[in-house]
Structure 1
Amino acid sequence: MGVIAMDKRQITLYYSSKNSIGKQIHAYVESSGKKNLAIDISKTNVTGTQWAEIASGLNIPIRDLVAQHHPDFLEIYGENKQDLDENDWLKILEKEPHLLKHPIAIDGENYIELESAASFKKFMEPDSAGLEKS
């Protein structure tokens, strides 16, 4: 059993209020009419275990949660990412949450990385067969 609560009647959103896409998607989730739990990672500490569970739910390595082309990432870590192991990536997300690549929504057991507000609208459509859910 994971540490993230799964509820078919609730959307859990991991986002940062420090970027415009995060704010937009948060507004869409709030107005979706579905019960939701919004976790602003710029104000709430997300543990390494939770990040690992999110990556697993998305079927991606933890490093893919990080915006590796973000200027702050490049300034701190440079281009040489091969030296970073899984624990390093977890520490980056814990210490620099603004480096989360995209907001993440969890709806029941479905995880989705939301690249735009439009992707959330598509995720919420009753027939979202064209959108792959992890």
Structure 2
Amino acid sequence: MSILATDDKQITLIFDPSTKLGRECQAYAVSSEAKVLAIDLTKTKVADTEWVEIADRLGKTVPELIAKDHPAFTNQFGEDVELDSTDALKVLNKNPETLVYPIAIRGDKAVMAHTFSDVLKLIKPDSSDVKIP
């Protein structure tokens, strides 16, 4: 059973609003016709089981969700640190700003938004008003 919603009518956005990319992704998600559940990592904690499920949906491991070059990470842990899943979950919970990219989920699809336009992959085009001769 899925912990995250799998509703095709909702986009779940997991992001840090203090970043420009996070705010841009939020704007794109809100501009869609879908309902948006914005999970602001500065205010809301994501459970370990949810991080594991998110990583699975993305086809990644939990350590791959962390930006190891982020100052919050390097200042605390140094460089060239190898993390296992347990360590990565602790980092994400204590330092959510180390999430490498915002993550958008809609239905059974998930994208790691390297650019704000990656959110468009989850937005369905509405062609019902288009008249094709």
> Same fold by TM-score, threshold 0.5 exceeded?
yes
1:44 aligns with 2:30: no
Q: Which residue of 2 aligns with 1:120?
A: 119
Letter aligned with residue 116 of structure 2: A
Give the Å deviation of 1:31.
1.1
Q: Which residue number corresponds to residue 5 of structure 1?
A: 5
Q: TM-score, normalised by structure 2?
A: 0.87
Distance 1:96-1:49 versus aligned 2 partners, 3 A rule: same
Partner of 1:15: 15
Residue equivalent to 2:88? 89
Identity value in percent: 39
1:63 and 1:52 mapped to 2: Cα distance? 10
Judging changes above 3 Å, is the alpha-carbon distance between structure 1 residues 85 and 122 closer, same or farther for their aligned structure 2 residues?
closer
TM-superposed deviation, 1:2? 2.0
The alpha-carbon distance between structure 1 residues 122 and 2, as it changes in their structure 2 partners (threshold 3 A), is closer
Cα deviation, residue 122, structure 1: 4.6
Q: Distance in 1 between the 2:34 and 2:5 partners?
A: 16
Of 55-64 and 113-122, more deviation after overlay is shown by 113-122
Contact 2:24–2:116 (CA under 8 A) maintained in structure 1: yes
Q: What is the total number of aligned residue pairs between the two structures?
A: 125
**AA in 2 matched with 1:47:** A
Write the distance in 2 (CA, Å) between the matches of 1:58 and 1:120.
14
Distance 2:94 2:5 in 1: 23
Q: TM-score, normalised by structure 1?
A: 0.87
Q: Which AA in structure 2 matches 1:97?
A: P
Residue by residue, what CA displacement relative to the aligned partner does 1:60-105 show, whole Å, maximum 9, x if unpaired?
Answer: 11011001111221111112422x3211100100110111011111
Tell me, in whole angstroms, the C-alpha distance in 2 between the residues paired with 1:76 and 1:120: 31
The two structures, once aligned, show a CA RMSD in angstroms of 1.3
- Larger displacement relative to structure 2 (115-124 or 40-49): 115-124
One-letter amino acid matched to 1:34 = A
- Which protein has the larger Cα radius of gyration, Structure 1 or Structure 2? 2
Give the deviation of 1:21 after TM superposition: 0.5
Q: d(CA) in 2 for partners of 1:113 and 1:80?
A: 23
Return closer, same or farther for 1:11/1:123 CA change in 2, 3 Å cut-off. Answer: closer
State the shift of 1:36 in Å.
1.5
Structure-2 residue corresponding to 1:60: 60
